[in-house]
Each structure stands twice: as structure tokens, then as C-alpha cells.
Amino acid sequence: MYQVIHFTDGSSDVSDKKEQDLIMMAALYLRRHPESRIAVSGYADKASAGESKNAELSKKRAVAVANTLIQRYSIASDRVQVKWFGAQKENGTLPTMNRLVLMETIE
């Protein structure tokens, strides 16, 4: 299972309906596969801010998604691995390709 949660510039808010639906689908997958765990990895883009601010923003994004899985959908916290990379690790050349959280299962 692989999901991408997008964020607007400078935001860690996951209140958007589309993004909430993606988190819900990940939670449903985890409920159906109790042996699976999920990696939640936060990113930020170099164009928006400096290194320390991007590290903090990517952490906030990853934690927001993880907390939604844990608190709203009752996924055990030991099944959710949270990582963040700031702008050090990029997913694409456009800034919007790096304003995201990747959720992928760890089998």
C-alpha cells in the first residue's frame, strides 16, 4: 500500500477531505492486514524555507498524518513508523512534488 498526502506551502494541516480519505484508506488497509506496519515519511521543498524550518515542517506533516491514523482510526502506535527528511531528500524537481507525506506499508 502506498499513499501520497499533499500539503500546501508551509502547511501541516490534514483537514482536506481528499487527504483525509487517503488516510482513512491506509487505516482500513492496516485493519485488514494486522501484521502490517506503515512508514509515514514527511518532506518539504527547498524553495519555501531554510533547512531547520523545512526539517520542522516535514516533521509536523509526518506527525499530523501519524496522529490521525493513531487517534482517529485507532491504529496502534507501534505499527506506525514516523520519519521526516526536510528538504534533504527530494521526490521530484518541482516544489509541489516535495510538499508531502508518503505512507507505505512495511510488511
Position 51 pLDDT exceeds 60: yes
Task: Give the mean pLDDT of 4-29.
Answer: 92
Which residue from 60, 36, 48, 40 is spatially nearest to 87, judged by alpha carbons?
Answer: 48
pLDDT value at 58 more than 60 = yes
What is the structure's pLDDT at 75?
98
Residue 72 CA: distances (Å) to CA of 7, 98, 101: 19, 26, 18
Q: In what order do the strands lie in the sheet with 100-106?
A: 2-6, 100-106, 37-42, 80-84
pLDDT > 90: percent of the chain: 67
User: What rounded mean pLDDT belongs to the chain?
Assistant: 88
Question: In the predicted model, is pLDDT for residue 5 greater than 80?
Answer: yes
